Structure 1
């Protein structure tokens, strides 16, 4: 549920800070009424004497010779508590995850040594079946935002978010002028990361990946800052390169590319850089969407760095045009811009944008009273719609941008820089349609963690047992 807030962006990020019960494809994972209905049907089958399915490995079963009794809801609850009490697993040998603040999964039971000739037998560990899916975590510390997602796998290729956090920290504030991360910016980021560490410590995380992007990548003191993060929060973050960032963004948006699509230009407008990937799926589509990237680039410009150079509060049409031209010159130097060939001019080609810029435009286009991810994620916008929204924003004064519930004070000085980057991209690839994605790096990390760990294979096996 989205919690109303005083400003649009506060509402958007406060929504993220609460538990989000959404499927990876952006659709609700199913209401409690439907789950309750299935439970009532199962109880009805027990009362009517229908044959029950074989129990999942590790579940309690009636002892031989004792009649099976009818259980009411209280008895079922007591059984579940007893079952949880029995599952005390040894943590020795559990697989470590990428952060000291994340507890390793308790999924093994240590076997006692076997006696013989005075020497202890080697320790053996037997995996124990756990009918509950494991949680996975992804953290993205960017130039503007600090974001965390915790999710559990559901259907193959999908997952359900069980916890989330998002806060604007502006880590890259002043970076374009000094080349270093500022003290206040680092302190804001550390405070946000402490909240993330608390959330992770409160859950049994099977695997996690915690990344830092452009601000830490380009700052002289980026590595030094991450050492401080580890000392103060226990979190160990890795700085990823631009190619990895582009690939993860593509992986996070795979389900928004429909099967009849021939080609896509996916872009992620960040705070300090903008990643662009050209995707050719005109032949048979197989495997991950990221496997179909034919060319990519990372522009050394984002909403924070561009607005600091040109000014973000009072943007005249002339200043806005200068921003567009600045980004256009960077795109002119992209040698792989034509790799899609004629596909980029066909009807089965479109743009796919994952960033605060495009989600903000979508919210304004829908005239939302406050930001609503479920209405924005996956939305199609026509080229004329985008032109109207940009023209409208360029005509607004700063206070008008602040007052819009989908912009708010946190992004009022950044949104026009994002629009300038978007417009430069549309000049190179003038698609008639743009699909909006309120997802990206974190979802891509989760998808790759789960696939690499065989999470969906295990969930299928649980379903068959």
Structure 2
């Protein structure tokens, strides 16, 4: 992805409590300009737990706010959106429904991301705004439905966790306030015990790493620091941008003892957050206590900044661009975990891309940067299922690709990669297949084309000896010619590729002819 002219991009984070918009102009000199950022409370997760279903009222609020934010972004010149949804949509059985409805109304696709990917983006957003270099630090983000806990340095995260602990979730399921909104000491004890139980394993992992510094993001932590800065007992000792565990403990006692209406008037506390702030404070305090860290530095960067950094990391003109992207590293890591034949995998990638680009030149379909990348990763991982069993390994490949966290990808991309790998052998995609049937018409067509190219590439290395050096399509009037060049006898590959002629015709409505071109042919 190259930047030939300035581009205005909008980044949207649809969370459990609020939706955030970040609009930036990417400049051709490798810099970017912040144009606007907005945050609106929508309480998408309100009433969701424990039924795991978004309420109609919450959905209406979300759609109304997102529609307005998209209109605002477009008025600022946004030509591309990167939009994700987190815990509330991820866990709700109708979360995907909400995203599809928003796409129908606005044309903007919102991708639901995994908890691990959410944690990675938070780390990326916060770590890119601080200077810790090789020092490992703890990163905490307390959302409405989940809390992300990360350990990492400036360059790479070593622990990525998403816990089902959030300010809205904890309030709705564990806090039963008194009539006036006060929260009793007994309730506080009950909530603390629950949090301790949820974090015991991750806290133990963190303690053995001897991490001493913590950074916090999210509205909950920012709000708590703001309250502390104006809370009289701490006004003379509070350090701006830092929140100590002693301050947290005092605020928990203070805020929980206030009636809800009085809590809404606390300086620095948004009234819309008054009913969930105690739960957020308890979560933060217990994590710091369990990891033996005395306080937390507060950052105003978060997931949306991670989306920005992740986006520009793929643009060569930007200094953040990586030699090897997190997506590619994640794919290679899964391949190594499953002990794939890396030489064969790399050769299948090479052949798949030769077929892909020559098919575009032959006008079989139009180029899409996204589909090229999906094919590349599916080709590399197509045989990971053999780690479980050779029999039906294409189905096992789909399972591993979609169940093992692939960092840097949203759930839609993971599903597409998994399906392309799933159909690289045996049965072709069928409309009644689950989850193939859940895709839109365009996505189903993409899977059919990419999986066909992968099937053909696999047949062109049937022997696993990398004998085919080149395989490319060309158009010959009303038919397509596949020209194949070999470095040694490849009769097995020629026999295998013949079996795909019928599928090729059904896919492109053009007959396929196969010819052998000697390598020294000019």
Partners of 1:213 and 1:239 within 8 A in 2: yes
1:51-200 alignment to 2 at 5 Å? Answer: 130=5, 133-153=6-26, 159-200=32-73
Higher RCO structure, 1 or 2 (CA under 8 Å, sep 6+): 1
CA change 1:154–1:233 in 2 (3 A) is closer
Shift of 1:340: 5.7
Structure 1 runs of 4+ aligned residues shifted over 6 Å read: 154-158
Shift of the alpha carbon at 1:255? Answer: 4.1
Provide the secondary structure at the position in 2 that maps to 1:178: coil
2:135 to 252, 262, 270: 262
Equivalent position to 1:352, from 190, 211, 215: 215
> SS state of the match for residue 305, structure 1?
helix
Q: What's the counterpart of residue 294 of structure 1? A: 158
Structure 2 CA distance, aligned partners of 1:185 and 1:352?
Answer: 31
Query: What stretches of structure 1 of length at least 5 have no aligned partner?
Result: 1-94, 96-106, 108-126, 282-288, 370-375, 460-465
Conserved? CA contact 1:380–1:434, under 8 Å: yes
Distance 1:368 1:200, change over 3 A: farther
Aligned to 1:441: 303
SS of alignment partner, residue 49 of structure 2: helix
In 2, Cα distance between equivalents of 1:177 and 1:268: 22
Matches within 5 A, 1:2-81: none
8 Å contact from structure 1 (residues 278, 340) kept in 2 = no
Residue in 2 aligned with 1:417? 279
2:256 is the counterpart of 1:394:
yes
How do 1:299-448 and structure 2 match up within 5 A? 299-309=163-173, 310-311=175-176, 313-334=181-202, 337-339=204-206, 341-344=208-211, 349-367=212-230, 379-448=241-310
Give CA-to-partner distance per residue, 1:388-441, whole Å, 9 cap, x none: 333322332222210024223201100001011112201211212310112200
SS in 2 for 1:366: helix
Q: Structure 2 CA distance, aligned partners of 1:156 and 1:385?
A: 44
1:112 aligned partner: none
Structure 1: distance between partners of 2:21 and 2:109: 14
Structure 1 residue 456: Cα displacement: 2.6
Counterpart-to-counterpart distance in 2, 1:392 and 1:305: 22
Once the two structures are TM-superposed, the CA of residue 217 in structure 1 deviates from its matched residue by: 0.7
**Structure 2, gaps ≥5 residues long:** 233-237, 322-522
Deviations 1:177-232 (A, max 9, x none): 32211111000000011112212322444643100111111111111121111112
Change (3 A) 1:275 1:221: same
Retained in 1: the 8 A contact 2:245–2:289? no
Q: Distance in 2 between matches of 1:333 and 1:350?
A: 19
How many residue pairs match? The answer is 312
**Is residue 148–residue 442 contact of structure 1 (8 Å, CA) maintained in 2?**
yes
* Partner SS state of residue 428, structure 1: helix
More divergent stretch after superposition (243-252 vs 224-233): 224-233
Show CA shifts across 1:364-386 (max 9, x none): 111199xxxxxx99812333333
Q: How far, CA to CA, are the matches of 1:260 and 1:457 in structure 2? A: 16
In the alignment, the residues of structure 1 paired with residue 206 and residue 292 of structure 2 have an alpha-carbon distance, to the nearest angstrom, of: 15
Cα distance between partner residues in 1 of 2:91 and 2:157: 25
Distance in 1 separating the partners of 2:137 and 2:29:
24
Q: TM-score, normalised by structure 1?
A: 0.61
Residues 381 and 434 in structure 1, CA contact (< 8 A), matched pair in contact too: yes
What is aligned with 1:226?
A: 99
- Over 3 Å counting, the alpha-carbon distance change for 1:203 and 1:377 in structure 2 is farther
CA separation in 1, counterparts of 2:186 and 2:168? 19
Question: 2:30·2:317 contact (CA, 8 Å) conserved in 1?
Answer: no
CA distance in 2, matches of 1:221, 1:377: 44
Counterpart mapping for 1:194-213 below 5 A: 194-205=67-78, 207-213=80-86
Structure 1 pair 244/219, CA: closer, same or farther in 2 (3 Å)? same
Task: Provide TM-score, normalisation by structure 2.
Answer: 0.55
CA distance in 1, matches of 2:29, 2:131: 17
Q: Following the alignment from structure 1 to structure 2, what is the Cα–Cα distance between the partners of residues 209 and 367?
A: 37
Relative to structure 2, which stretch is displaced further, 405-414 or 188-197? 405-414
Residue of structure 2 in register with 1:73 after alignment: none
What secondary structure does 2:230 align onto? coil
Deviations for 1:44-98, whole angstroms, at most 9, x for unmatched residues? xxxxxxxxxxxxxxxxxxxxxxxxxxxxxxxxxxxxxxxxxxxxxxxxxxx9xxx
